Structure 1
């Protein structure tokens, strides 16, 4: 579909244009030229109206292009603002992760100093003691097996008591662990912000690209509409120029006719004057004049 069809723009029919040749201008009669001037004027007016409509459509399209560009710029600004926030949260996240890593390294160092990493953990020891006690209560054992089981339970209890005592005596370790976990949690929150803000920034980026694409498409249509406007305006200007040429020629013909009329009147006055002088001469010689002759003398001022 052409741009003219898409926007319901009247096609410029070359066959409706009015042509003016030098021969028509120089040799045409006044009546022919008056008719031609009217045709040129009417076609010029039609073409000017056509050009005005096309210019209006073009301006509307340019305005819509500007709207899309403005929209794209808004999305660009929003995207850039979000990306700045992403960068800020990334920096905070990285700083906090680095801090948390140092704290956890310190935790591990303290555990090694307290020998808490040797053997089973406190939770594992508790679970093993429960299993052994359950076996003691539910199984039928020989005296020897039961003595060995009791000794094993006592050994686990001593190991649990030792580890529990070390942890209780080291409140600094618990505080350090709590601080490290809190810092890591805060870093995770910043990471979550990074993810959410980055998604929002990408969405604004996509909308910016789409707005620029629409702006380009509309701008192409505006450029085509401008070409249609120029086509109609140039045709209108040509018809106007030809109209002005015909008008100028008509004025020349009017002046020429006026000059011819003046020459005719002057020639007629000369003829009347010569005739009156002849009549006056007859009057001086005593000839009798009729009424018409007297009027001719009065008209020329000889009587």
Structure 2
């Protein structure tokens, strides 16, 4: 936070009025001038300190903004890579879907989707054989069971032959699975890059937030600087006004002294004229009178 020093910003007229300038004695004005000068210097020093602190905060704000911009650039670059991998992933998934559709069409042509798959048929045959071997059956039931086992074996062999006779189907399945796996790799890359982009986005937001906080502190410090500087200027102006009044008083005193000297010279001239008239009339003059005549230039 900005340095908290209570400052009342007043104009020079509020610090010392024209009436006070005219009424206060020279000694009082000299004292006032010293107070204004000292306070002005103190306020100027305070203003300088606040200006320095404000500049430091502004520099820190710029650092935070620069950091935020760096995170923004990294985030945008990562997002571009995310879009690139998404595009490849989507293309691969579309291609895999086409291949799997081809597989389904081939299965339909071979009627492989009708009935049970080979593993299921094999399991059923094993269950029936186990039943034949372990259970006591009537002749009729055993004959029916044997027929059923034969039917299952024929169905199994028929479906197996169809699969064995169509190598293209397995090739298409393998190719489709390869393409889908490649699409998954790109999806994983999308997830990884998106996570990294989000982290830099969060860091960017935090840097901007910190920049705003520091900027607010800089603005507060600048306001305090302005207050201190305005107060210093007011005290300087008051000091100048007092100095001006002191010069006026000095000039007035000098004029008074000049008038007094002229008055004394005039009195001396008049006295010398009087002594000289007495001298002309033959009056005896003492040493002091002669000195005055010499000083006035009559002798």
Please tell me the TM-score bracket, short chain as reference.
Answer: 0.7 to 0.9
Aligned equivalent of 1:11, options 2, 6, 9? 6
Matching of residues 136-151 of structure 1 within 5 Å: 136-151=132-147
Matching of residues 231-246 of structure 1 within 5 Å: 231-246=227-242
C-alpha displacement at 1:294, in angstroms?
A: 5.1
For the pair 1:87 / 2:83, whether they are aligned, the reply is yes
Matching of residues 93-104 of structure 1 within 5 Å: 93-104=89-100
* Residue in 1 that maps onto 2:41: 45
For the pair 1:30 / 2:16, whether they are aligned, the reply is no
CA contact (8 A) 2:9 2:227 kept: no
* Residue in 1 that maps onto 2:154: 158
Relative contact order higher in (CA < 8 Å, ≥ 6 apart): 2
CA contact (8 A) 1:65 1:215 kept: yes
Q: Residue 91 of structure 1 aligns to a residue in which SS?
A: helix
C-alpha displacement at 1:251, in angstroms?
A: 1.7
C-alpha displacement at 1:234, in angstroms?
A: 1.6
Unaligned runs of 5+ in 2: none
CA contact (8 A) 1:79 1:201 kept: yes
* RMSD value, Cα: 3.2
For the pair 1:222 / 2:218, whether they are aligned, the reply is yes
Deviation digits for residues 38-78 of structure 1 (CA, Å, limit 9, x no counterpart) = 11112222322333343344344434443443343333333
* Residue in 1 that maps onto 2:124: 128
C-alpha displacement at 1:206, in angstroms?
A: 3.4
Matching of residues 45-84 of structure 1 within 5 Å: 45-84=41-80
Unaligned runs of 5+ in 1: 1-5
CA contact (8 A) 1:73 1:208 kept: yes
- Shifted more, 121-130 versus 221-230: the winner is 221-230
- Shifted more, 52-61 versus 229-238: the winner is 52-61
Count of residue pairs the alignment pairs up: 297
CA contact (8 A) 1:10 1:50 kept: no
- For 1:238 and 1:287, locate their aligned partners in 2 and report how far apart those are by CA, in whole Å: 70
* Residue in 2 that maps onto 1:108: 104
CA contact (8 A) 2:3 2:50 kept: no
- For 2:113 and 2:293, locate their aligned partners in 1 and report how far apart those are by CA, in whole Å: 153
Could you tell me the TM-score, scaled by structure 2's length?
0.82
- Shifted more, 273-282 versus 222-231: the winner is 273-282
* Residue in 2 that maps onto 1:119: 115
